[in-house]
Amino acid sequence: MTLLSDAELLGENRAPIPRPQGSAAAPYDLLLLDRDGTLNVRRPGYVDDPEDLVLLPGAARTVAAANAAGCAVVLVSNQRGIATGTLTRPQLLAVHRALVSQLAGAGAWLDAIQVCPHEDRTCDCRKPRAGLLREALRRAHWASGRRSLMVGDQPGDLAAAAAAGVPSVQVGGPDPSLWAVGQKMFGGNASRV
């Protein structure tokens, strides 16, 4: 389990992501996860209060299964509200602390967090651009994009993955949940966590 600094929780850390124990046998090097609509319930506007962060059914168990399988789990999230002033850094920090706490309740953890705090069309990191995923791969120098997987609920998540050379799966709507995807990725291990 990785303890995340405030800089990591805000997506500002650029230090290397350590290779997890048991990763040689892991099905993926990195499991890259979108946040809203993938890990937690998407709501109008921004999740700016920890009380509003509600994990989707089975999401924490899927992350725990990925951890147990030796995958490094990295959150990759656009948070444009920082640029527009509708979300503050302290609010984002509190929400990510709540996320880490809720995951820990299921024995799950994030190894790193990548955040784009920028306005539309002002950077290379905002999904659907590939910058967040490329930075995660740069930080995890031991990881291969081809041996990683991006899971998200928006077309921009899939476009960012394609631009970074990372396979992807879309969840939400009529498509499967993260839990259903996790069952396929990790078999029965996800249900035993």
CA distance linking residue 60 with residue 65, whole number of Å: 9
Give the active site residue among 6, 29, 36, 111: 36
For residue 158, the one-letter residue type is L
- The structure tokens listed for 96 are 């990510």
| Known catalytic membership, residue 36 | yes
Contact 82, 117 (CB under 8 A): yes
Contact 152, 168 (CB under 8 A): yes
Give the active site residue among 6, 29, 34, 49: 34
| Known catalytic membership, residue 29 | no
Helices (H), 3-87: 6-9, 59-68, 81-84
Helix, strand or coil, per DSSP, at residue 116? strand
Positions annotated as catalytic residues are 34, 36
